[in-house]
Amino acid sequence: MTSRQPAPAAARVYPKASSWIGWIAFGATMMVVLGTVQILQGLVALLAPDHAPLALARRPVVDVDLAISGGAQLVIGVVVVVAGLCVFGGQRWARAVGALLAVTSLVLNFALLGDTPLWSLTVMSLSMVVLLALTVHGSDVRP
């Protein structure tokens, strides 16, 4: 019976992964999920404006036309999903786009804070986690 000896540490091809890899994967997953939700919100605002939260609000923080808001959410949602998928591949441009869109999401959800307070605070919190993971530890993922 022969036993295999483990390869010495110097023979490793890949460097040891950082403990932040899980947070980066969480950030990328949240980008894909939140981008998908933004796409759905944009479609609801464009196709069924009676069901959109802005149409039911009494006093929005920012007065926005539903067609403009829905179109912006749709486009941003698609970009966030694509960038989130590319963060998994370690693409530097995707981290930059993800960080920029996380800040944009913070601003947009602040504008919607009066209409959907719980959802806006949830998305703002998750956007901050994504921003932290992508900017502070994003280079831990290598292509």
pLDDT digit string (tens) for the chain, length 143 residues: 566 666 565 555 656 666 777 878 888 898 898 889 889 888 887 887 676 555 445 555 566 677 787 888 899 889 989 999 998 888 888 888 888 988 988 887 888 777 677 888 888 898 888 888 888 866 666 65
Q: To which residue do tokens 């941003």 refer?
A: 76
C-alpha span between 46 and 29 (Å, rounded): 26
pLDDT attached to residue 36:
92
* Residues 46/67, Cβ–Cβ less than 8 Å: yes
pLDDT attached to residue 82:
93
C-alpha span between 92 and 95 (Å, rounded): 5
